[in-house]
A and B are shown apart, each in its own frame.
Chain A
Amino acid sequence: MLDTLKLPDHHYLNDGHGLKSWLLTKDHKRIAMMYLISITVMFALGGFFAAGVRLELMTPQGDLFLADTYNKFFTMHGVVMVFFFLIPSTPAVLGNFLIPPMVGAKDLAFPRINLLSLYIFWLGAAFFFYALFSGGVDTGWTFYTPFSSFSSNTNVVPTALGVFISGFSSILTGLNFIVTIHRMRAPGLSWFKLPLFVWAHYATSLIQVLGTPVVAITIIMVFVERAFGFGIFDPVRGGDPVLFQHLFWFYSHPAVYIMIVPALGVMSELISTFTRKTIFGYSFVAFSSLAIAVFGFIVWAHHMFVAGISPYSALVFSFLSFSVAIPSAVKVFNWTATLWKGSISFEPPMLYAYGFMGLFLVGGLTGLFLATLGTDIHLHDTYFVVAHFHYIMVGGAIMGYIGGIHFWWPKMTGRMYSEFGARMSAILVFVGFNLTFFPQFILGYMGMPRRYHAYPDEFQVLNIMSSAGAGVLGIGYILPVIYLTYSLTRGKAAGPNPWGASGLEWQTQSPPVTANFTEPPVVPAEPYEYTPHVAREANLV
């Protein structure tokens, strides 16, 4: 029966042709698609640098690249992945595309500002590319002073400006979401009927708007110190090098939540859809996003337990760090409970959701070792930390993002992709990821420091495992690029609601018209309402 489905005649993709119709669009969906292409390019670039790092680390000697080249590789891997891929990923692509239809609106509150945010992102990326092509940068993505302010002779300033500029794109996106969610909900769509995806983006937007200016100011301070010789962080000129870390992590710890919380929102949608039931403890999950956003601002110094801060402040920050672990745990328990008495099926997005839960679980639990003072002193700045944040950032945030892409791809393009390819990809990513990063926990406890170009021989076996895993992971990531691109022209038409999902975005055609809805969506009485009637209709459309 699916064969009889056809793409609708009019939709946002064919509403205007030519480059100009895209570059001057105010349609949130087209902007989202342009973000999708942009960050996919950045992801490939970041992945290229990661491949270089993993290749170098296959042998204990620093024999593939010069030390300086290696240092640039891990720095640019971090900068690209954090600032130009992870931070925009789910919000700028999926949030941008889906928040208006999810709240029953035609567009975001400020369509022009939305387009502006994309241009700002491109401008920031242009600065980064300038830095890259003039020789790169080697400070680590954390830009610690005084190394970044007077020691490094690489392109710190253009890179930092690129990060600074792209930060504004993130602020504008956040602002747009907050206003849209407050002001543009369809009649009858009260806060507690909103999809949890929207709640998660609301929490994320608060962090973007409140946190990003702090890192922007910090970057300006580094710039002023480098360019004009003001003593802010350089002790020789009366500055305080540790001040930088306070300012940097005041933003960059919450930034972790900018990356992960939207993915948590995606998870709630996937799990609800493929269990055909509402999320267990909807309000707990909704408020846990807000709790994470708030607590995220008061734990920054857990990155500084060995940076010479007072042991008593370390005590406070350790305690607060545990407080942020609890809402994350609550989410996992709620998703697991949602599976209970569900009607579960394992379409590709659900495979990603399962993979996400496994990896996020490991990422969260290993955070306990780092929040605990006694173990953090030993583990700080070792591969244990590298493994931990990759479980959260890659296992969590990217897995959630790619799962979301697989879930909403039919809505975004109107077409289905190869189910076999998607299953393969989900499995390869899960296996490859664990093979890459699990050995790094052991390396970390063994004492291998991060950012090492060469290392003692006893660490080699685990490093080879890790590099082999990275190869598998790479294939897992390349596959979707192939079958999703292929589906654009050859994929079967998806119909409005191929998964039988409950959200408002599934009430309109796929791909939607520019105004999203041809007739006003019907707001359900409860969030995530699945009745046998709705499900059957969806499956049989």
Chain B
Amino acid sequence: MSSKGVPLFPEAASSFATNVDNLYLFIIAVSVFFGVAVIIAMVAFGIIFKQKKPGEVGERIEGNLALELLWSIIPTIISMVMFGWGAQAFFEMRVPPAETMTVYAVGKQWMWKFQHPEGAREINELHVPLGKAVKVLITSEDVLHSLYFPSFRTKMDAIPGRYSQLWFEATKTGTYHIFCTEYCGTNHSGMIGSVVVMEPQEYQAWLAGGSVGGTLAERGEKLFSELACSTCHMDSGQGRGPSLANIVGATAELADGTTVVRDENYLRESIINSQAKIVKGYQPLMPAFQGLINEENLVALVEYVKTKSPAARPTPAPAAAPAASTATTDGMQTPSATGGKN
């Protein structure tokens, strides 16, 4: 629905969009019922009980306990239905299925940068395959932003200093809006773009065309040696730092005795602020890379470290990408024509 006249709904193009729309319609129905009932009562009483002559007073009615209980309890019950349905829809949106493909999003004043594990990189445009669960790991290089896909009915804030995530499964091919919904300064309203949902084969073809500079993990591997990470983090476990093999998803015991599950946020923090969590048995020798490495390269490193834990990784999309050439690490796919003004 759209274009002609006043549009009421954005396209419903994700697996949970219809559920959200139905929930929305349910709340509208409840609201209209109660709203109209109250307004009719107000107007009708206003007419029926209009003052007939000056000096007349109303009947003194102090209240009615049964009525009070009735109109406290009924709305409570109905609102619990809303709460329950809302919670169900929410968890559907928040908990991705076991099998997902991952895309990284970095918000920056005022653009969205997306990186696909296969190597394709884009700005203000995101290509995704139809019918496949896509997990987006989101962070920000500066202030808060929020990545919003109205047609998928989901959004998540981009928070500097950590990864947040959302997921969706697109159910309709087409091009839909991406908005930034967290105010982020001058060109906040220009921080928009589009998500392009493609048939899976087309998507593979598109990926293949965009993977200049190798996959994300390959870029990460290159950085891993450039930044000399590999001199301490040896897979053999003989280095001064812990081996990074098979650590993702596993629990580690820290020097202070606490334990931590090592996910993407843990990896990110351990690079940027390496002293924060020291694995038991190791010395705090690693330099902090805060300010020395940008979010996009960080993402590449994280992606590379994840490849060292094949068990924890959901099987990636069959990489049609023919690890193209050597060349620069900066194969940047330029967006065709999108909103980002200036």
Contacts and interface: CB of A to CB of B under 8 A. Distances in A.
Interface of A: 62, 67-68, 71, 138, 140, 144, 146-147, 151-152, 235-236, 238, 240-242, 275-278, 280-284, 305-308, 311, 314-315, 318-319, 322, 325-326, 329-330, 332-334, 336-337, 339-346, 354, 357-358, 361-362, 365-366, 368-369, 371-378, 380-382, 442, 445-447, 449-456, 458, 461-462, 530-532, 534-536, 539-540
A205 B71 CA distance: 28
Contact of B63 (A238, A282, A336): A282
Interface in B72-131: 72, 75-76, 79-80, 82-83, 85-95, 109
Nearest to B62: A278
Given A138-B185, A146-B160, A306-B157, A532 B87 contact: no
Interface in B47-79: 49-52, 54-64, 67-68, 71-72, 75-76, 79
B20 A378 contact: yes
Interface in B248-282: 273
B5 to A, nearest CB: 8
What are the 10 A-B residue pairs with the smallest beta carbon separation, nearest first? A374-B89, A235-B161, A447-B150, A277-B58, A372-B86, A373-B90, A339-B45, A342-B58, A452-B189, A281-B63
B182 interface: yes
Contact of A362 (B6, B20, B35, B52): B35
Interface string B23-64: 110010011001100110110011001111011111111111
Given A306-B157, A449-B181, A357 B42 contact: yes
B156 interface: yes
Contacts of A71: 183, 185-186, 188
Question: Which of A241, A341, A362, A377 is most buried by chain B, counting CB atoms within 10 A of its CB?
Answer: A377
A165 B335 CA distance: 48
B300 interface: no
Given A361-B35, A380-B155, A532-B55, A235 B93 contact: no
Nearest to B156: A306
B49 A340 contact: yes
A278 B188 contact: no
Interface string B115-156: 000000000000000000000000000111010101101111
A447 B190 contact: no
Interface stretch (B7-15, B207-215, B220-228, B238-246): B7-15
B150 A330 contact: no
A345 B50 CA distance: 6
Contacts of A377: 20, 90, 93, 153-155
A340 B72 contact: no
B80 to A, nearest CB: 7
Nearest to A329: B75
Contacts of A536: 54-55
Contacts of B339: 456
Given A318-B83, A372-B83, 4 more contacts: A71-B186, A284-B63, A315-B90, A532-B55
B318 interface: no
Interface of B: 2-3, 6-10, 19-20, 23-24, 27, 30-31, 34-35, 38-39, 41-42, 45-46, 49-52, 54-64, 67-68, 71-72, 75-76, 79-80, 82-83, 85-95, 109, 142-144, 146, 148, 150-151, 153-157, 159-162, 164, 177, 179-190, 192, 273, 290-291, 339, 341
A306 B50 CA distance: 49
B28 to A, nearest CB: 8
Contact of A146 (B143, B148, B341): B143
19 contacts: A71-B183, A138-B185, A140-B183, A151-B185, A276-B51, A281-B68, A318-B87, A329-B72, A340-B49, A366-B31, A373-B89, A375-B20, A378-B155, A451-B183, A452-B188, A453-B189, A458-B2, A531-B57, A535-B57
A358 B9 CA distance: 25
Contacts of B6: 442, 461-462
A138 B94 CA distance: 32
Nearest to B93: A377
Contacts of B164: 308
A531 B58 CA distance: 9
A482 B235 CA distance: 81
The B contact surface, by secondary structure, is mixed
Contacts of A358: 39, 42
Question: Which of B2, B10, B157, B160 is most buried by chain A, counting CB atoms within 10 A of its CB?
Answer: B157
A319 B42 CA distance: 30
Nearest to B44: A339
A368 B93 contact: no
B273 A330 contact: no
Given A277-B58, A354-B42, A374 B68 contact: no
B51 A344 contact: yes
A296 to B, nearest CB: 17
A380 B54 CA distance: 50
A442 B341 contact: no
Contacts of A532: 55-57
Contacts of A382: 181
Given A281-B68, A458-B7, A535-B57, A374 B185 contact: no
Contact of A445 (B9, B57, B146, B181): B9
Contacts of B87: 315, 318, 373-374
Contacts of B291: 236
A98 B187 CA distance: 47
Given A306-B156, A311-B94, A358-B39, A381 B46 contact: no
Question: Which of B142, B148, B180 is most buried by chain A, counting CB atoms within 10 A of its CB?
Answer: B148
A305 B58 CA distance: 47
A448 to B, nearest CB: 8
Given A330-B68, A445-B9, A242 B159 contact: yes
A236 B142 CA distance: 9
A450 to B, nearest CB: 7
B24 A445 contact: yes
A151 B142 contact: yes
A236 to B, nearest CB: 7
B35 A365 contact: yes
B85 to A, nearest CB: 7
A57 to B, nearest CB: 10
B160 A322 contact: no
A235 B157 CA distance: 15
A198 B6 CA distance: 45
A341 B142 contact: no
B148 A447 contact: yes
A318 B86 contact: yes
A153 to B, nearest CB: 10
Given A276-B56, A329-B75, A451-B183, A374 B86 contact: yes
Contacts of A345: 50-51
